[in-house]
């Protein structure tokens, strides 16, 4: 079979690799759809902090698949089940999973391409739960990529008032459609002034990876920034190092968290809310493309990352990269 690999910085290729074999404690899965995680995969592609520092390399953790074979110790799944997995096999036509992995059976009638985004959506669910978002919180979401847009939805589902900031007008428009209370375009410096005039935020979900911490926390002294006392700040976007002004943070008694993935209960609750329509997956799918067009997609991710949002690879056609 052929899987997708990053073979050098910025270069993507299909490479031949062995087809996995089912053993006693695994299920063999045939990929139907796999979702692109823009930030994480571009980080790997360009040799960022998630990279192992050598090539080839890859990462992918959003797959909707059909169970093709079950090992003798498998009890929760059977052949023909459609499941979502959040393991890390890469974008491949076949992969394995264990019952102890991040895996969940999908209900009949669920839109399968949009179900691939349950991975990034569960990351956002985990972030909002980690920050203990409540109905009286004022939440600031930095970045309106997939993680940010799902963080918006998760925080709204918990009853918070949510403000989201990004540089893409089309993503901010989508955020408004998803229910954001306030949106701000921070393309230029002037955008921060109205944010600083609003009541301070009790939670910040930093999903952008941008150079924004001085604006959020404060640049110097024992005050400043746009967070209230004892606010919770969750670092979501990957980066090599994080630094901020200690005095400004300690003056606010800032609570910080660093996180990346999620746990099974986040996935379980995400699916429950998606079925109810509280978390809207389908509206964030922009492109469903045959897997044989993946190289072009990664070239776009490398050269014009803002052009992509909610990209799903379709493995169900004739050409599956095999």
**What pTM, to 2 d.p., does this model score?**
0.94
User: What is the pLDDT at residue 219?
Assistant: 86
Domain boundaries, the chain: 2-117+285-314, 120-258
Name, in order, each residue with C-beta under 8 angstroms of 137's C-beta and a sequence gap of 6 or more: 155, 158, 159, 160, 161, 202, 203
Question: Does 320 have pLDDT greater than 60?
Answer: no
Q: Which CATH number fits domain 120-258: 3.40.30.10, 3.40.50.150, 3.40.50.720, 3.40.228.10?
A: 3.40.50.720
User: Using 50, 70 and 90 to split pLDDT, how confident is the model at 321?
Assistant: very low
- The CATH number of the structural domain formed by 2-117+285-314 is 3.90.180.10
Question: To which residue do tokens 């955020």 refer?
Answer: 175
Whether residue 101 contacts residue 263, with contact meaning beta carbons closer than 8 Å, is answered with no
H or E element: which one contains 192? helix 192-197
Q: Convert the pLDDT of each residue in 161-212 to its tens digit.
A: 999 999 999 999 999 999 999 999 998 888 788 998 999 999 999 999 888 9
pLDDT digit string (tens) for 81-96? 999 999 999 999 999 9
**Distances in whole angstroms, Cα of residue 287 to Cα of each of 34, 270, 307:** 12, 22, 11
């Amino acid at each position: 079979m052929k899987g997708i690999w990053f073979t050098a910085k910025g270069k993507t290729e299909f490479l031949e690799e062995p087809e996995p074999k089912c053993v006693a404690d695994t299920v063999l899965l045939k990929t139907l759809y796999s979702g692109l995680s823009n930030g994480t995969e571009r980080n790997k592609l360009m040799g960022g902090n998630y990279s192992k520092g050598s090539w080839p390399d890859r990462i992918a953790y959003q797959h909707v698949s059909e169970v093709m074979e079950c090992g003798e110790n498998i009890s929760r799944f059977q052949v023909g089940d459609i499941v979502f997995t959040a393991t890390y096999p890469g974008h491949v036509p076949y992969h394995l999973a264990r019952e102890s992995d991040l895996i969940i059976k999908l209900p009949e009638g669920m839109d399968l391409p949009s179900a691939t985004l349950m991975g990034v959506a569960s990351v956002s669910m985990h972030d909002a739960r980690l920050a203990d978002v409540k109905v009286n919180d004022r939440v600031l979401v930095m970045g309106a990529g997939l993680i940010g847009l799902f963080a918006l939805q998760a925080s709204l589902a918990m009853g918070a008032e949510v403000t989201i900031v990004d540089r893409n007008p089309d993503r901010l428009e989508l955020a408004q459609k998803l229910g954001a209370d306030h949106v701000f375009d921070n393309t230029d410096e002037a955008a921060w002034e109205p944010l600083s005039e609003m009541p301070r935020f009790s939670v910040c979900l930093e999903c952008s990876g941008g150079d924004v911490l001085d604006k959020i926390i404060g640049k110097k002294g024992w005050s400043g920034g746009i967070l209230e006392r004892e606010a919770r700040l969750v670092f979501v976007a990957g980066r090599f190092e994080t630094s901020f002004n200690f005095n400004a943070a300690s003056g606010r008694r800032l609570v910080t968290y660093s996180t990346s993935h999620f746990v099974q209960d986040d996935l379980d609750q995400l699916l429950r809310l998606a079925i109810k329509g509280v978390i809207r997956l389908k509206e964030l799918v922009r492109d469903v493309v045959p897997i044989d067009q993946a190289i072009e997609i990664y070239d776009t991710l490398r050269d014009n990352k803002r052009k992509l949002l909610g990209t799903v690879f379709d493995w169900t056609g004739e050409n599956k990269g095999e």
